[in-house]
Structure 1
Amino acid sequence: MNPPDHNELTDEPSNPSNCSGINEELRERENQIQRGQCKARKRNFKEGLKVVGGDFPVLLGRKDSLVSKASSVEGNIPRPNQSMDQLIKIFARKGLTIYDMVALNGAHTIGFSHCKEFSDRLFHFNKTTPTDPDLNPLFASALKVTCEKIVDLGVSVVNDLESPTTFDNVYYKSLSKGLGLLKSDNALLKDPRTKPIVLSFAADQTLFFRAFSRAMEKLSIYNVKTGQQGQIRRVCDAFN
């Protein structure tokens, strides 16, 4: 995404780790609501959340930063192939606990991932075993068909095979079946620090919903800009 010329904004959304489409859409909705121009769109947005399983309270008023650089994304966004220790450290720097981290990973119950983010599990797991043995064999075979020739880097697969359009706890249930798409998904089930949390969310959807809501609220108030530190952008991809 390249910003317009009227105010230079270095291209943070272009970083491959950044879910820019979703983030920019959410920010634009919030900005329009704050400016009093979007009553109908606000209603439609909340209805859209309900379609995939329900909504939760969101604090309004968060300002956009006056700095936006792609280089600042690295080390602040979890990567699919990072170790559990690395993932825990990234979330801890944002004031989030291991419990919060596992809850936020539940967002993988909807959305998709590109083949390049998990192809190593299919073709280059290690020198003796090309395919990750933790993957369900049928699932792995289907993924290989989809991702064998990654000519188009935009080729993607849904994160939650069993209920890809519903926000629920099926993502956690799927991990025990070898249906975790990303290496980081599978790591949640294997690491003794996170496995009990995964199993508790798999057994109790209400518990997951409460934990996800609390973790999202904590994340939304991290490093809030006050006073002249930030602004409500009129256009999301450009400074005012």
Structure 2
Amino acid sequence: MTILLQSGGKSWRVLLGRRDGLVANQTGANANLPSPFEDVDTIINKFAAVGLNITDVVALSGAHTIGQAKCATFNTRLFNFSGTGAPDSTMESSMVSDLQTLCPLTDDGNKTTALDRNSTDLFDSHYFQNLVNNKGLLTSDQELFSSTNLTTKDLVQTYSTNQSLFLVDFANSMIRMGNISPLTGSSGEIRKKCSVVNS
């Protein structure tokens, strides 16, 4: 949370008393996480399955105001989007050119670029401004504005001009996400080292 605050984000109270699980299941975890290639309705359904709503989908996607993405997570938008033989028409043309240079077809997909073009180090609403201007990097990001889902589109538009509301909603959504099936009481354990189960 320190990095979030230093980059302009908002703090929130983290509930205590949570415990770590006794097993790690990356495959199971990944099955429930939104993919950068998924459409809005699929992502909304995944969030709804754990008790999160559309506001949570859009607000939490705003975390992409910081961070990097590998070419492999968006290069399908650059050359032959959905089998059209052309780039994704919802991506702004100069951005397409820049990214085609960064991520040529012959590339291994491991190069990275900022998720939030032209505002890489600030936790702000610029990410949403990018979506309004067709400069979302991931399919799942741009879909929030370009899809036929008017609720996500309206929220993107609102956050793009109201950073304070985005920061408040983001903090509230982080709290709601932190309440998804927490382990408490005697379930799980308090790990001595976060990355491994206690012996």
The TM-score, its normalising length taken from structure 2, stands at 0.92
Residue equivalent to 2:55: 99
Q: CA 1:215/1:234 → structure 2, altered by over 3 Å: closer, same or farther? A: same
Whether 1:150 and 2:107 are equivalent positions in the alignment is yes
Is the contact made by 2:10 and 2:167 (CA closer than 8 Å) also made in structure 1?
A: no
Partner secondary structure for residue 69 of structure 2: strand
Runs of 5+ consecutive residues of structure 2 not aligned to the other structure: none
Runs of 4+ in 1 over 4 A off after TM superposition: none
String of CA shifts for 1:140-173, please: whole Å, max 9, x gaps: 111011111322x431110001211000001001
Please, which of 171, 175, 181 is the counterpart of residue 127 of structure 2?
Answer: 171
Distance 2:164 2:115 in 1: 21
Distance 1:129 1:199 in 2: 30
Query: Whose radius of gyration is greater, 1 or 2?
Result: 1
One-letter amino acid of the structure 2 residue matched with residue 160 of structure 1? D
One-letter amino acid of the structure 1 residue matched with residue 177 of structure 2? L
Whether 1:52 and 2:7 are equivalent positions in the alignment is yes
Residue equivalent to 1:28: none
Distance 1:164 1:239 in 2: 35
One-letter amino acid of the structure 1 residue matched with residue 45 of structure 2? K
String of CA shifts for 1:21-51, please: whole Å, max 9, x gaps: xxxxxxxxxxxxxxxxxxxxxxxx63x3322
Residue equivalent to 2:22: 66
RMSD: 1.4
Distance 2:42 2:31 in 1: 9
String of CA shifts for 1:37-77, please: whole Å, max 9, x gaps: xxxxxxxx63x332211341222332111121122123210
Residue equivalent to 2:73: 117
Q: CA 1:126/1:101 → structure 2, altered by over 3 Å: closer, same or farther? A: closer
Partner secondary structure for residue 44 of structure 2: helix
Is the contact made by 2:7 and 2:123 (CA closer than 8 Å) also made in structure 1?
A: yes
Distance 1:164 1:91 in 2: 26
Distance 2:81 2:9 in 1: 37
Distance 2:5 2:176 in 1: 21
Whether 1:204 and 2:162 are equivalent positions in the alignment is yes
The TM-score, its normalising length taken from structure 1, stands at 0.77
Distance 1:127 1:230 in 2: 46
One-letter amino acid of the structure 1 residue matched with residue 73 of structure 2? E
String of CA shifts for 1:181-240, please: whole Å, max 9, x gaps: 000111100232310011111111111011000000000121110222111211122111
Is the contact made by 1:75 and 1:90 (CA closer than 8 Å) also made in structure 2?
A: no
Distance 2:134 2:79 in 1: 17
Runs of 5+ consecutive residues of structure 1 not aligned to the other structure: 1-44
- Could you tell which deviates more after superposition, 51-60 or 160-169? 51-60
- Could you tell which deviates more after superposition, 126-135 or 93-102? 126-135
Is the contact made by 2:92 and 2:135 (CA closer than 8 Å) also made in structure 1?
A: yes
Whether 1:132 and 2:88 are equivalent positions in the alignment is yes
One-letter amino acid of the structure 2 residue matched with residue 150 of structure 1? D
Is the contact made by 1:63 and 1:231 (CA closer than 8 Å) also made in structure 2?
A: yes
Distance 1:165 1:89 in 2: 31
